[in-house]
Structure 1
Amino acid sequence: MDRKLALITGASAGIGAAFAKIYASHGYDVALTARRADRLDRLAEDIGLRHGVETLTVPADLADPAAPAAILDHLTAHGRVVDALINNAGYGQPGTYADTTWEQQAAVLQVMLTAPSELAHRVLPGMVDRRFGRIVNVASLAGLIPGSAGHTLYGATKSYLVKFSQSLHLENLATGVHVSALCPGFTYSEFHDANGTREKISASTPPWLWLGADEVAAAGYEAVEANRAVAVPGAPNKAIAGLVKLIPDEWALALMAAQGPRFRKV
């Protein structure tokens, strides 16, 4: 195959679907993975017709520890290697840590920490050998600010993705592999519908804080092409990330204690 292949996790909607369309528009074939096979198939058909690229769908649940290897084995069986990896899959687990089960929290860690780390580890050697690769880890503004009550591991895993991306970025400066952490704030997608916070978020968040999934994905594509280690799309989000660096930690944590309940379903 002459065309490169982009693998996008969490590709059935939102930022993942937007990434799939952007990579296809730049001439990449795309491999789409998520739990919902019907949505993947519809998206794949639309992308194939619109951009004339090959599309592969790999229904999988990244909460299953066997999923990362199975996804890549499926692509290998089709004679393909991954040239661009978009680790986008993620979700929020409502509730406080003590009021949820360990199984729920373990699934969060598997989907949002272990799976993206494993996928990157498995595809990176081939990228280095070919002297070309792109890895985007979709983190969050939540990974750059103090933690909040509720959704306990969300900010923690996103902070991990930021540091992980920075390290991979530095390790691969001379390899032709670009690595970026994308840190969006509030984004129009199905994220808040899935975790039951849509009504609260819509009522408490001003419209100017929101970005569209297409805008966020475009910012991620531009960042990894430019090989920027961390990208924060949107002026308000950049301001928030910058402010948190300037104020004392105690002030920032107090601010999260006061504002967190507006945005979390605890």
Structure 2
Amino acid sequence: MENVRGRTVLVTGASAGIGKAFAKVFAAKGWNVILTARRLDRLEALAVEIEAKYKVGAIAIEQDLAAPDSVDKLVAAISDRRVLTVDGLVNNAGFSVPGHYAKTAWADQERFLRVMVTVPCELAHVLLPPMVQRRFGRIINVASLAGLIPGAAGHTLYGASKAFLIRFSESLLLENRRANVLTTALCPGFTYTEFHDVIGTRDKVSKYGKAWWSTSAEVAVAGYDGVMAGKPIVVVGRRAKQISALMKVLPESVALGMVGRQSKTFRSEEPGTSDNEPS
């Protein structure tokens, strides 16, 4: 196994949930961490905790990734802190836009696409060439079980964005693994984070039993182990794995009908925007 102590990883959406868990998992393995999100107070508290507990470097950078120039500002801020190399990237930041597509505001959907699709691609595009040159890199794109099943009514672009991340991750892996730059799409099912509270579906998803749920730590550990092993896709959660396997064998029309019938049990019907960093 390669020695990763002293390497540096950038984690987006690191102030809570899966992103926070990822920061701790990487730090426990000896990585220095760069934490970015919109909530600086949470980031700074996490940075202090990580430095004290794991004896690695931790930097907190406030950044709203929905802003058009956010990646340029983030990269500049990293450079200003004299970070010479970024060896890992966890694209975790995200949110969802509840409601049916026609009832939502395009401005909200545009922000969604930037955070969920454009920023992960842009960050990878910036950080990938030096990784290839140094012949070491690890990229985790936090996707979802939603990217492996047919689209559902409501939160219209969410599953589509996650499916995009899965295919994007596969292509990056194929293009760069000979240079020891590995990419994994992480596909958790229901995860204990703030996500469902923020988008207003906590009462609906709470009806699902414990077998449906994973902790943020479980998801982050699975993602870390998966990318270090060079796995293109990692599905997390017992029920998520069962559903993923089932969708591979069902006819598309049958699978679409099943998802359609279940949509109202876990998706909000109210339009609006819900920023949430755990994704």
TM value normalised by structure 1: 0.98
Deviation of the 1:54 alpha carbon: 0.9
Q: Do structure 1's residue 215 and structure 2's residue 218 form an aligned pair?
A: yes
Q: Are the equivalent residues in 2 in contact too, given 1:86–1:136 (CA < 8 A)?
A: yes
Separation in structure 2 between the aligned mates of residue 225 and residue 173 of structure 1, nearest angstrom = 11
Shift of 1:70: 1.1
Match of 2:48 in 1: 45
Comparing 185-194 with 229-238, greater Cα deviation is found at: 229-238
User: What RMSD over aligned residues (CA atoms) do the two structures have, in Å?
Assistant: 0.9
Deviation at 1:79, TM superposition (A): 2.1
Which structure's residues are more often strand, by fraction?
Answer: 2
Q: 2:247 aligns with which of 244, 249, 252?
A: 244
Letter of the structure 2 residue corresponding to residue 28 of structure 1: W
Partner residue, 1:7: 10
Instruction: Give me the whole-angstrom Cα distance separating, in 1, the residues matched to 2:104 and 2:225.
Output: 38
Check whether the contact 1:8–1:16 (CA below 8 A) recurs between aligned residues.
yes
Aligned to 1:159: 163
Aligned to 2:192: 188
1:131 to 132, 135, 144: 135
Aligned-partner Cα distance in 2 for 1:182–1:161? 9
Deviations 1:115-173 (Å, cap 9, x if unpaired)? 00000000000100111000000000000000100000100000000000000000012
User: What is the CA–CA distance in structure 1 between the aligned matches of 2:237 and 2:193, rounded to whole Å?
Assistant: 16
Shift of 1:235: 2.6
Contact 1:180/1:231, CA 8 A, preserved across alignment = yes
Conserved 8 A contact 1:65-1:115: no
Shift in Å at residue 211 of structure 1? 0.3
Q: CA deviation at 1:189?
A: 0.4
- Asked whether 1:70 is paired with 2:79, we answer no
Please give the alpha-carbon distance, in whole angstroms, between the structure 2 residues aligned to 1:11 and 1:151: 23
Amino acid aligned to 1:91: F
d(CA) in 2 for partners of 1:71 and 1:128? Answer: 21
Count of paired positions: 264
Q: Pick from 96, 119, 123: which aligns with 2:100?
A: 96
Q: Which position in structure 1 is the counterpart of 2:276?
A: none
Deviation for aligned residue 1:77: 1.8
1:79 aligns with 2:82: yes
Measure the CA separation in 1 of the matches of 2:68 and 2:265. 34
Give the AA of the match of 1:185: G
Structure-2 separation of matches of 1:256 and 1:233: 19
Give structure 1 stretches of 5+ with no counterpart: none
Name which of structure 1's ranges 70-79 and 21-30 shifts more when overlaid on structure 2: 70-79
Unaligned runs of 5+ in 2: 270-279
Q: For residues 78 and 95 of structure 2, what CA distance do their matches in structure 1 show?
A: 25
User: Which moved further from structure 2: 67-76 or 102-111?
Assistant: 67-76
- CA deviations 1:83-102 (Å, max 9, x no partner) are 10000011111111011100
Aligned mates of 1:133, 1:256 — CA distance in 2: 36
Q: Kindly indicate whether the alpha-carbon contact (under 8 Å) linking 2:212 and 2:238 is maintained by their aligned counterparts in 1.
A: no
Distance in structure 2 (CA, Å) of the matches to 1:173 and 1:125: 13
Higher relative CO (CA 8 A, sep ≥ 6), structure 1 or 2? 2
**Secondary structure of residue in 2 paired with 1:68:** helix
Partner amino acid, structure 1, of 2:120 = P
Q: Hey, what's the Cα distance between the residues in 2 that align with 1:130 and 1:77?
A: 21
For residue 10 of structure 1, report the CA deviation from its aligned partner: 0.4
